[in-house]
Structure 1
Amino acid sequence: MTTVSTVITVEEQAKKAKKAAKTLGILTTEEKNQALLTVADALEKDYQSIITANLIDLKNGEEKGFEQAFMDRLSLNKDRIFDFAEGLRQVAELPDPIGDVMSGWTLENGLKVEEVRVPLGVIGMIYEARPNVTADAAGLALKSGNSIVLKGGSSALNSNKAIVEIIHRALALTSIPKEAVQFIDSIDREATQQLFTMKEHIDVLIPRGGASLINAVVENATVPVLETGVGNCHIYVDRVADVEKAIEILINAKTDRPAVCNAAETLIVHEEWLKKNHSLLADALQKNGITLHGDEAAASLLPDVQPATESDWANEYLSLDLAVKTVSNLEEAIDHIDEYGTKHSEAIITENSDTAKKFMQLVDAAALYHNASTRFTDGGALGFGAEIGISTQKLHARGPMGLPALTTRKYLMSGNGQVR
């Protein structure tokens, strides 16, 4: 049950963030960039304190029996900390969207109209065991002129607190008030629920994590939600796919980082291609330690295939497990994706450009690939710098959400006494 003190504390933090957003909205690009560079330097300088805090979280995770994929997302080391510090520097180098004139025109009566990008205001960020999100989200919010209220999962509490403490110390040396980054350190689940309904202080909620978290936010929030989705991503290997290309892409999409949302979870393979190339495919899968869950056709050609159940087709494994579905044509592949996909990232491997074009036109997803790995659905990989999440919805923003996704627009009218 939520305590009165928890409610008051969360609301006060949201109020401080809203007040700080007013200051952020009028800062220059140079002031914001300098603040991000200062934070990046501080994170690298004090990285050991983050690692020390992270070790406590990892120990707690081991005692609670967290799965390996979860522990991988939770784990930090010097390289990972330096990576998200470098991500802040990349964000500082990106064009500032605030103040961009998106369009403009003059009415017949002489009234001048401009459509201008402006910050959203205050972002509420709810996320699970990814402490790097703390730095990434704060950096993107600040560069786009937004304050942010962070609510990370309890499993990463110590890591997140250490990161935010460094951010606050660094911001104290800059033009950005430290109140622009708020961190709710309560382990009370109801503190998260409190964020859901504070639409007088929070302008948008962004959930980032598993299906249960995202669904809880979408179904219960009265604050507008920018929905990020789970990634049940598919690789469709067409009848005329190049065998070396197909296998290399599949192995990369499955094994590069199995615990991330853009990793492949299902191989959809044309039955003719599989009959011709099953030996090469089997060798590659076994070499990389991939466990298969397949239909009868796949089991008849590939070794050690566990019978796939309905849950396998829908599962985001986040591990070295892979579902295998055989089809006889493109339409069957698209039907399977339509039924089980999460509108995240889907790929087709084929040397037939017409087939690829049809796949790209008909499959409904935020990111579609022809002859490339789904692992590129990432803000950094696509040149956005750090991302705040991958949106799988259709309104406002879709795909990797960089700076422009954290803005809205104002219409500014300038006249000379016009009346209607």
Structure 2
Amino acid sequence: MKYLEKTFRWFGPEFGVTLQDISQTGATGVVTALHHIPTGEVWSKEDILKRKQDIEVANLKWSVVESVNVHESIKQGKPDRDIFIENYKQTLKNLAANNVKVVCYNFMPVLDWTRTDLDFKVNGNASALRYDHVALAAFDIFILKREGAKKDFSLDIQQKAATYFQNLTTSERDNLRDRVLAGLPGTRDVLSIADFQKHLDNYEQIDKHILKENLAYFLQQVIPFAQELGVLLCIHPDDPPFSILGLPRIVSNYNDIKFVLESCESISNGLTFCSGSLGASETNEMLDIINDFGDKIHFIHLRNVKREGQQSFHEANLFEGTTDMVDLMSAFVTEQIKREETKSGVVGIPMRPDHGHVILDDMKRMDEFYPGYSTLGRLKGLSELVGLEKGVRKYLLKN
């Protein structure tokens, strides 16, 4: 009987969570990347091997790369994009040479994720991540002062955003700015307003249709090469799964995912299923996504969000959010059983607990973690997922 492969994300030696910590969680695999190498540059075989050896010393396996980031020139379709695509392919080749063959990536413009509160209190004093659409509107209209921002929000949201902004102190306004601009991959860096505006300017002529074309071009160049290497690429959904700050979103729902997977038909063109990202939209039927695209799901992120209406949400305990996690796990175990019976695909799909709350002793060292990546909160999530999977599997096999 093959279970989901239990993994834990690790951001490298400078991260507050060590490999020794992870080895005590019950996880057998590590999800990581070479974050110190700038996006667009080739990861050498030597650097990859060094990271892999460090992981194996802790009796763990480098299960998934998250992420080999896609250069902005590729997303924007600039004349030099082919240079960065070739670099991307060389990195995949070097990973494959070290037998690291599951690669997560995303195609979100500029920011990897966006939250308006990195210390939202739940369950007493536990700390969670939250996205408040009113706060985002206040940032967009009154702090960023983006041209045309108001037309992206209803009159009701605009009015609430004005009141919200007026009630913020100068320090609170600065904190809101830094929280929104903190979504850079694998770093604590925060963009300045001026730098962020430059990034927005680069997308001024890029709408959803053009960004989809640029993604399809990238896939058509990279996926056949990845298939030859035996590498499985899996795109991560947008977080949040709707357009913000005037930037297009193209991996937010069933039809978006269908477009991605049909842009270059191959087992190597797959999906990272993230229940938190997809679950933030009330229109997403996640069971349909699993049932219809299950054979292309190469990596799983499991967390729950509690939707608050008007596109707002916070990250909730696993069984207290809007999504029925029992239904999701049942769908994944059913997909595993199908793979086992047909002898197709990876049965032990890598799975990791996604963003965890900051709880207990981790509260004393919050500055050591990236937002959402404390040790104990994710350990709690992993433990719950292990028990859930075993219970679901036993029930399904009996019935």
Aligning the two structures, in what range does the TM-score lie when normalised by the shorter sequence?
A: under 0.3
- Alignment TM-score, normalising by the size of structure 1: 0.27
